[in-house]
A and B are shown apart, each in its own frame.
Chain A
């Protein structure tokens, strides 16, 4: 299937969408503007005045109150995120179009409305950014009107039609030129005063999130409350990061929860960074504060290609690709029941021990993240023997599957470290649908056409062996360390089933026959048995070879991953 054709199609859809607002009959903005009379002021002076007001973003008092909350303003965030002097702002003069509930008065209007949008550079590479301004358009009237409705919406509404339109504009352009979109979210649900226009605004963004998905990387950084409908935009993007203690994500706030289910819960418990990075898996990582988050986002951005048409970036690398890693020769313990830290292995193999882990606190039995090999970005997956023996369960399968699909969409080679004793048994897992969820990881690996390199460090048992980027799922290069055991199951279990406990020496025989890399190697299921210390060298070489890999799947509208 020709990728260009799909892109052209997508672009024309996007262009049509962008025209839509202009076709709408109401042009309230213009009306309001012409009425804001007074003494005639020269146009240059008015431009200067509007710019000044836009840069103040709602006045010093609002800036101070944002700082008091331990947060930065929308503009400060953009300045920290982008290279110095690189930000180009769009739509600074846009104002909201709401004429009801006193919103039409000039004191409730701010140039740029409630979001700062534009493009700029991160380490010289293009990125589109929108940064929401945390606002409270609270007036007595609307509080009365919304009593008993959604408290959170009442406090933080800020997404207006104009706001959404601004975001849509940069997203359309981002797709057109092929550059990532970064959203700095700090807002709450819809602006109730605007009613359905605000809801339409959401949907416009959602649609673009979906259409951009797999075309340009989309990153959300939640830096304040994000509640109600607003949460679905981050949920649709590729990565959601949060700021600890100052950001929340939830569909309904604690008050509604209390009134509906009588459940007492704090904002932090319900949708804080800890909840979403460790329990729900909604967010991919959390950072200490705004500054930490933005600086880390810059680092993270460097791993990503700009679009699906760009190869994985290759950054200048000082770490020799032919570096031996003697540490690895002893990292796997002698006793096959003893745990070790897979992250140690990753650190010692990748460039300069730099590993940007994704979802480090969620489903910790699987590690995923980005690193570089000889400068080139790679996606790393690994079973973590330290946690739940590194088994596959519902959460780890979903975590891995989503990561694999991102890498595949954006031409990032996959390196998989396997030490998996199998799928986690039990009613909790079966009732939860481990079959359906485990299939996601299997699906993702099988479908991926990027270079796939697999290293079996120790156990590769049963169905989990197949799933973990095995040769059978089009793994390009599959290695086994001398400690590898590719088998249907561990010796003890196997002997119990085969002999029903009658044979006593059978376990040793099984170990001798199967608990080693030979059965897989003689069949060509692993390409080589390698010395662990040479792993880095081998992977770097393979990636060079595979850089020109061409592989495609049969034509389809889209595959039907078991959601």
Chain B
């Protein structure tokens, strides 16, 4: 592996001038982050504290690795890790140095301890911040670091080991008088044993990897069959993600909330709880929307949970930042789920409401400084909401990964009290090898309504082009009446969208607004296309701009509209109602702020073509419309219908990924619902099911790489 090590520094770079360029970008980007990202911190740096570390290696990728602004502030030099694929990534540019640890697959790079240890030696980093995921909770890694005399920024090996093992952690929790989930059992050897254990506990049960957190490799089984299937998938995923295929089966609490307590402990037996985070909005057991504090907890429950969390931390002599996850049922009874011995993805919302900089505190604690705060000093100031913006298609089971190049990317940093932690930039590639998270979008307000209002605005102002993203889903969730009332559970998404997410449902007024905006946009473009500069050969007869008759198709409906123009305002008559739409009509801007009869809306025009097709992102959801003149619309009824391909006989990959298993051979008889192959993408294994009964005629080979929509098998 060492042979694949390449140090990506100026001297050995293939094109030196390209590297210089990268550095320039980096300085620019860093400054921007410093200014924009941490506007709501109260934490101050004690000038009397000596420099903690001189050089820190960040053993991670993406936004956490870019989140080293704390280090920048404290003048700690940073070393980033990259792979052959991610060498141009933001976190690499922001860091002072970068070391390549191997090819793109994580098992050969970010999980490759030998390569990382080599990198540490090479760069002489004094400490390692593991971020989250990858090796952040790997005791072996922590042990190896300790033996090299390198500080691991996190708890010591003992705590990682104790909490990293789900079974041991529950025993510890029990002993520390922390409420635990009933029906808890041991390590699973094979599918039969899994079934036996599941029956003992009683369905439903949850199956997941012992070593994993974050919902990866976690499946719920309601019967024996599902238990076997869950066992198979979870063990495979556990092996590929964590290199450890041990599993855990436990009682599944139906309709729970997922609320976690942030703890912070030092090496001097001090521990604090920094309030809770409500992380109930999840899909496939991965968090989507988080907020702090929770609407559900009363001060007593909060204190009870906090005290138990601190008790647990003290029981394992925990130091550094950590998270104790609880399931909370409808009666506010809470059960210990697990403890994450690392920084969480959603840590910024805790930082927002408490004013603490957790990364800074972790570094301080690692260096041995005692905590500066008392429990009574920990406030809840205002409200913070975090949305995880993913490169995935929310219309397919609330989010299947999509890949591509970010051809345009603009974070909504002009919206006040918005923080965006991202590890990507315009031009970045979203590949199949890593988690498809684009960014964490955090908004803060003096109360929940304000934070949510800002989030709405931020989502509308977020420009992401080139990959499919889940903004539509996020925006729907945060404006949903149940969410607004705080009535959530981990089953929120399937409960609210039993038939899958279908995008925003327009009210009559919203539909009229959309039609009016689209009409105005179309007219603005029509008018612009007649504006030639410096050409004397333009007709002097000006176009009559009153009462243009157009016809708009939206979904199954066709709507006649009449439009007149007066300067930057278009008066659009839709369904007998007149709407005045005003904007700058800047056709090059990805964001368009329009005012419709006094209501301000931010829309994004994603595409428009000469044939009148226009895609508009309105209220988070993308709508496809077609605008034609009245004449063209009347004539379009004569246009031939084009035949559409019958897709039921072709099995298409719903997302890009690698075929890891094929269950049928050509000429096999396949029945409807039968698994044909398994595609792995973004660390998830997805079973591909035949849509109808038939004979398999062709298939692509195992191990091959599939684009979304590629036919994998013909029936």
Chain A residues in contact with chain B, CB under 8 A?
Answer: 67, 70-72, 76, 79-80, 83, 86, 121, 123-126, 245-246, 287-292, 295-296, 298-300, 302, 306, 310, 313-320, 326-331, 334, 344, 347-348, 351-352, 375, 482-483, 511, 515-516, 529, 531
Given A326-B426, A327-B406, CB of A80 within 8 Å of CB of B538 = no
Cα of A512 to Cα of B246 in the assembled complex, Å = 50
Given A86-B539, A316-B528, A319-B588, CB of A76 within 8 Å of CB of B635 = yes
What DSSP secondary structure best describes chain B's contact surface?
loop
Q: For residue A123, which residues in chain B have a CB less than 8 angstroms away from its CB? A: 529-530
Q: Is the CB of A315 within 8 A of B528?
A: yes
Q: For residue A79, which residues in chain B have a CB less than 8 angstroms away from its CB? A: 631
Q: Does B88 contact A (CB under 8 A)?
A: yes
A-B CB contact pairs (8 Å), 16 listed: A67-B638, A71-B638, A121-B539, A123-B529, A291-B632, A296-B611, A313-B532, A315-B533, A316-B533, A318-B586, A318-B589, A327-B427, A344-B407, A348-B407, A482-B17, A483-B18
Cα of A329 to Cα of B19 in the assembled complex, Å = 10
Q: Is the CB of B426 within 8 A of A290?
A: no
Cα of A319 to Cα of B590 in the assembled complex, Å = 10
Q: Does B642 contact A (CB under 8 A)?
A: yes
Of A330, A375, A515, which is within 8 A of B88 by CB?
Answer: A330
Cα of A523 to Cα of B31 in the assembled complex, Å = 38
Q: For residue A320, which residues in chain B have a CB less than 8 angstroms away from its CB? A: 588
Q: Is the CB of B405 within 8 A of A344?
A: yes
Q: For residue A121, which residues in chain B have a CB less than 8 angstroms away from its CB? A: 539
Instruction: Tell me the smallest distance from the CB of A185 to a CB of chain B, in Å.
Output: 19
Q: Is the CB of A329 within 8 A of B586?
A: no
Given A70-B639, A482-B21, CB of A124 within 8 Å of CB of B530 = yes
Given A80-B631, A299-B610, A327-B406, CB of A314 within 8 Å of CB of B640 = no
Q: For residue B429, which residues in chain A have a CB less than 8 angstroms away from its CB? A: 330
Q: For residue B407, which residues in chain A have a CB less than 8 angstroms away from its CB? A: 327, 344, 347-348
Q: For residue A375, which residues in chain B have a CB less than 8 angstroms away from its CB? A: 533
Q: Is the CB of B537 within 8 A of A126?
A: yes
The 3 nearest A-B residue pairs measured at CB: A70-B640, A299-B610, A327-B427
Q: Does B428 contact A (CB under 8 A)?
A: yes
Within 8 A of A (CB), among B530-586: 530-535, 537-539, 543, 586
Instruction: Tell me the smallest distance from the CB of A239 to a CB of chain B, in Å.
Output: 15
Within 8 A of A (CB), among B414-457: 425-429
Q: Is the CB of B529 within 8 A of A246?
A: no
Given A327-B407, A482-B18, CB of A124 within 8 Å of CB of B426 = no
Q: For residue A482, which residues in chain B have a CB less than 8 angstroms away from its CB? A: 15, 17-18, 21
Given A71-B638, A291-B639, CB of A326 within 8 Å of CB of B532 = no
Given A79-B631, A86-B539, A296-B611, CB of A315 within 8 Å of CB of B427 = no
Q: Is the CB of A245 within 8 A of B628?
A: no
Q: Is the CB of B532 within 8 A of A314?
A: yes
Q: A288-B642, A352-B588 are in contact. List 4 more A-B contacts (CB 8 A).
A: A124-B538, A296-B611, A299-B529, A348-B407
Nearest neighbor of A348 in chain B, beta-carbon distance? B407
Q: Is the CB of A326 within 8 A of B537?
A: no
Instruction: Tell me the smallest distance from the CB of B112 to a CB of chain A, in Å.
Output: 20
Q: Is the CB of A334 within 8 A of B87?
A: yes
Q: Is the CB of A329 within 8 A of B21?
A: yes
Q: Does B14 contact A (CB under 8 A)?
A: yes
Chain B residues in contact with chain A, CB under 8 A?
Answer: 14-15, 17-18, 21-22, 25, 84, 87-88, 405-408, 425-429, 528-535, 537-539, 543, 586-589, 609-612, 628, 631-632, 635-636, 638-640, 642
Q: Is the CB of A531 within 8 A of B21?
A: yes
Q: Is the CB of B639 within 8 A of A516?
A: no
Q: For residue B427, which residues in chain A have a CB less than 8 angstroms away from its CB? A: 326-331
Given A125-B538, A315-B533, CB of A327 within 8 Å of CB of B426 = yes
Instruction: Tell me the smallest distance from the CB of A26 to a CB of chain B, in Å.
Output: 40
Q: For residue B543, which residues in chain A have a CB less than 8 angstroms away from its CB? A: 83, 124
Q: Is the CB of B428 within 8 A of A289?
A: no
Q: Is the CB of B612 within 8 A of A295?
A: yes
Instruction: Tell me the smallest distance from the CB of A350 to a CB of chain B, in Å.
Output: 11
Q: Is the CB of A291 within 8 A of B635?
A: yes
Q: For residue A295, which residues in chain B have a CB less than 8 angstroms away from its CB? A: 610-612, 632
Q: Is the CB of B632 within 8 A of A80?
A: yes
Cα of A124 to Cα of B14 in the assembled complex, Å = 53
Instruction: Tell me the smallest distance from the CB of A23 to a CB of chain B, in Å.
Output: 34
Q: For residue A67, which residues in chain B have a CB less than 8 angstroms away from its CB? A: 638
Q: Is the CB of B528 within 8 A of A483?
A: no
Q: Is the CB of A70 within 8 A of B611?
A: no
Nearest neighbor of B643 in chain A, beta-carbon distance? A245
Cα of A351 to Cα of B529 in the assembled complex, Å = 13
Nearest neighbor of B406 in chain A, beta-carbon distance? A327
Q: Is the CB of A291 within 8 A of B636?
A: yes
Nearest neighbor of A518 in chain B, beta-carbon distance? B17
Choose among B21, B87, B426 the residue with the greatest number of A CB atoms under 10 Å from its CB.
Answer: B426
Q: Is the CB of A529 within 8 A of B17?
A: yes
Q: For residue B425, which residues in chain A have a CB less than 8 angstroms away from its CB? A: 326
Cα of A276 to Cα of B205 in the assembled complex, Å = 61
Cα of A511 to Cα of B588 in the assembled complex, Å = 41
Choose among A318, A375, A515, A516 the residue with the greatest number of B CB atoms under 10 Å from its CB.
Answer: A318
Q: Is the CB of B15 within 8 A of A318?
A: no
Cα of A257 to Cα of B111 in the assembled complex, Å = 65
Cα of A352 to Cα of B426 in the assembled complex, Å = 16
Cα of A483 to Cα of B17 in the assembled complex, Å = 9
Cα of A310 to Cα of B219 in the assembled complex, Å = 68
Instruction: Tell me the smallest distance from the CB of A399 to a CB of chain B, in Å.
Output: 22
Cα of A336 to Cα of B286 in the assembled complex, Å = 38
Nearest neighbor of B536 in chain A, beta-carbon distance? A310
Q: Is the CB of A246 within 8 A of B640?
A: yes
Cα of A320 to Cα of B589 in the assembled complex, Å = 10
Q: Is the CB of B14 within 8 A of A326?
A: no
Q: Is the CB of B21 within 8 A of A289?
A: no
Q: Is the CB of B532 within 8 A of A291?
A: no
Of A292, A302, A328, which is within 8 A of B611 by CB?
Answer: A292
Of B15, B428, B529, B642, which is within 8 A of A483 by CB?
Answer: B15
Instruction: Tell me the smallest distance from the CB of A88 to a CB of chain B, in Å.
Output: 12
Q: Is the CB of B537 within 8 A of A310?
A: yes
Q: For residue B25, which residues in chain A have a CB less than 8 angstroms away from its CB? A: 326, 329
Q: For residue B406, which residues in chain A have a CB less than 8 angstroms away from its CB? A: 327
Of B17, B87, B612, B639, which is within 8 A of A289 by CB?
Answer: B639
Instruction: Tell me the smallest distance from the CB of B425 to a CB of chain A, in Å.
Output: 6
Cα of A246 to Cα of B18 in the assembled complex, Å = 51
Nearest neighbor of B465 in chain A, beta-carbon distance? A353
Cα of A306 to Cα of B15 in the assembled complex, Å = 45
Cα of A347 to Cα of B408 in the assembled complex, Å = 11
Cα of A352 to Cα of B607 in the assembled complex, Å = 10
Of B408, B587, B610, B642, which is within 8 A of A245 by CB?
Answer: B642
Cα of A76 to Cα of B637 in the assembled complex, Å = 13
Cα of A369 to Cα of B405 in the assembled complex, Å = 23
Instruction: Tell me the smallest distance from the CB of B88 to a CB of chain A, in Å.
Output: 5
Instruction: Tell me the smallest distance from the CB of A507 to a CB of chain B, in Å.
Output: 13
Q: Is the CB of B530 within 8 A of A72?
A: no
Q: For residue A246, which residues in chain B have a CB less than 8 angstroms away from its CB? A: 640
Given A302-B529, A326-B425, CB of A313 within 8 Å of CB of B535 = yes
Cα of A516 to Cα of B642 in the assembled complex, Å = 50
Nearest neighbor of B528 in chain A, beta-carbon distance? A316
Q: Is the CB of B531 within 8 A of A291?
A: no
